[in-house]
Structure 1
Amino acid sequence: MSFMESTRAAGIDPVLAQSFRVSARCGCFMQAARSLNIKSTQLRKHLVQLEAQLQCTLFNHQDSGLALSRDGLALQAQLIALAHERDAPVIEQPLIRLAVAESILHDILGRDLVALLRRNASVRLDIITLDSELALQAVSADVVLWLAGPDSPLPGPSFAVSEPRRLARLEYLPHIAKRYSRVAARPDSLDDLADFLLVQWQHDRQVESFRPWNSVVDQRLAGVVHLHSYELMLEMIRCSACIGLLPRYMSQFDRGLIALPGLFEQPMQRQVWMAANTETQGEGDVQMIVELIHNTFNERREWFDS
């Protein structure tokens, strides 16, 4: 007997019973509402209706969350006896594959993806980080967000995609933590960099437009740290008085970091591109991700125009 059938047999509205079952499991209205993909106010209304129908109190409110009352424990036992939770029907959600450049995921898109998951806990999302052109060429996804040169989306994904859309132009500059650099002591020429430890994200060594910076790093016989982790590179700059190459928007993302303009005559730029898989671009969940990415970049437009 399924969960829906068993609750009807017990004379309980299946929707109300499902709200009770998930609330009892989560012990938190907000978490239960996210799991059910409904608003917390609607969930509370369901529970009030169920308590009125059964003429009892099902939950005791505690500082740390919810606890089942004696009647709530009895109802939970009754429902478990009628139908085990594994028999409850589960609707399989389509898997959305999002491939995104590692730095863009960390700096720009991550917070909005977290907000999406908080609003819709039933979504199935496979997030693939791209840390090199080789990874971009090897990936297969429904939506791809990558970095390329200032004039062309190439090299791009190897599978068939929609017309790539340019989302933002990023300018890259050396950065240092404010707390480790007094204004008078900040470098204002390439020669001044000799007094500072440099940190290099290994992925950037393959970027043609970063040649001015990479040449300085490659000439170093000492005082340079090479890292394969983007987050660790940021931590080194924040906490170790290092100078590293970052997008100009980084001072918007982290107020403790400051750009060092004027050290290089040649600009170092990249473009953010997005495209969708031609086979799945019309699906609703894929369009939802595409719209989220567009909104994210539009909301942060001042990051890229400054």
Structure 2
Amino acid sequence: MSFMETSGQRRFAEYRAPIDNTTSWRSRAMGVDPLLAHCFSVTARCGCFMQAARRLNIKAIQLRKQLAQLEKQLRCTLFSPSDNGLVLSRDGLQLQSQLIALAHELDLPVIEQPLIRLAVEESILHDILGRDLVALLRRNASVRLDIISLDSELSLQAISADVVVWLAGADSPLPGPSFATSEPRPLARLDYLPHIAKRYSRVAARPDNLDDLADFLLVQWRHDRQIDSFRPWNNLVEQRLAGVVQLHSYGLMLEMVRCSACIGLLPGYMHRFDRGLLGLPGLFSQPMQRQVWMAVNAQSSGDEQVQMIAQLIQHAFDERREWFEA
């Protein structure tokens, strides 16, 4: 055997094929648990632990634990901290590209959220439930929620929803939704009073009787014109030849009371919702009351997400129980 042959054989023996990194990451990606892969993919898209946790509807600390479990399994670091949020490391980019390519093979979970239709009387949505619904959406960015504002008896009769919250008489839920529901649940009884902004109401000039209202501009939400229990207030407004504003928007009516020295009919809890507003009791001898009712669509009452929304609404009223006490 010549020196050249021996040397060539030695060189051949020492040769090693380069590692196919793509093949390596493909096999590693295929071995990843689909749930962990889904958590990683969402986090990579969001670039933020908090937003990814909202999208997945889990707590951020739980998401971090799952990603730490994935990094331990793959023996690498997948994310690098950055001033602009989370950035994928080199290994993270490799895993992301392979997961995208293998998405159909791995059958990564895509959990379709059911569409929940929530119909709420406009003033209740604005004053009581708005903040709790915002808190829900902050926690769960994957929810599918259709919120319908009810501003008349006609709209209540026309809609179809999974959960309905409406105002009716103090002793009866009628008129209520036109579709089959669970037994209506009373949530709170509301007393209504004329209200004025505190900054426009000095104690010495505060109206004590109906005659004193002659010097004030009255504002009325047109929705209230058909409410039988509001007849004392509606009669007063109808008798006015001047100094009356009729509005189709509850929010705008409330803003006019706050900022325009107007007097408007509002729920008795309003001073708790807005400390700048003041109720004017004793102007009317006849009480003006309504009851808040809630019902769940009979066809979707067993749905977990529907029950979650109903419980959120009940909790919102329970938390504000003192708002509704005389």
Q: 1:143 corresponds to which letter in structure 2? A: V
Asked if 1:103 corresponds to 2:123, the answer is yes
CA contact (8 A) 2:28 2:74 kept: no
| 1:119 to 2:136 alignment | no
Find the aligned partners of 1:82 and 1:214 in 2 and give their Cα distance.
Answer: 66
Amino acid at match of 1:189: N
Conserved in 2, the CA contact under 8 Å of 1:98 and 1:125?
Answer: yes
**More moved, 248-257 vs 122-131:** 122-131
Q: 1:163-242 residue pairs with structure 2 within 5 A?
A: 163-242=183-262
CA RMSD of aligned residues (A): 2.2
Aligned-partner SS, 1:225: strand
Amino acid at match of 1:248: G
The one-letter amino acid paired with 2:207 is: P
Instruction: State TM-score, norm by structure 1.
Output: 0.89
Residue 263 of structure 1 aligns to a residue in which SS? coil
TM-score (norm 2): 0.84
Match of 1:35 among 48, 55, 78: 55
**2:322 pairs with 1:297:** no
Q: Distance in 1 between matches of 2:311 and 2:111?
A: 24
Letter in 1 for 2:291: Q
Partner of 2:155: 135
Cα gap change, 1:94 to 1:8, in 2 (>3 Å) = farther
Identity of aligned residues (%): 78
Structure 2 residues without counterparts, runs of 5 or longer: 1-25
Aligned length: 300
The correspondence for 2:86, drawn from 58, 66, 84, is 66
| Larger CA Rg, structure 1 vs 2 | 2
The alignment status of 1:283 with 2:271, answered yes or no, reads no
Q: What do the CA deviations read for 1:257-292 (whole angstroms, capped 9, x no partner)?
A: 111111111111101111222222233222222222
Alpha-carbon shift at residue 301 of structure 1 (Å)? 0.8
What residue is the counterpart of 1:3 in the other structure? Answer: none
Contact in 2 for aligned 1:7/1:79 (Cα 8 Å): no
Q: 1:44 to 1:9 in 2, by over 3 A?
A: closer
Unaligned runs of 5+ in 1: 1-5
* 1:161 alignment partner AA: T
Give the Cα separation in 2 of the matches to 1:184 and 1:63. 58
- 8 Å CA contact 1:8–1:14 kept in 2: the answer is no
Q: Secondary structure at the match of 2:86?
A: strand
Cα distance change on mapping 1:58 and 1:95 into 2, 3 Å: same
Is this contact kept in 2: 1:177–1:237, CA < 8 A?
yes
Q: Whole-Å Cα distance in 2 between the matches of residues 163 and 241 of structure 1?
A: 42
- Deviation, 1:9, is 4.9
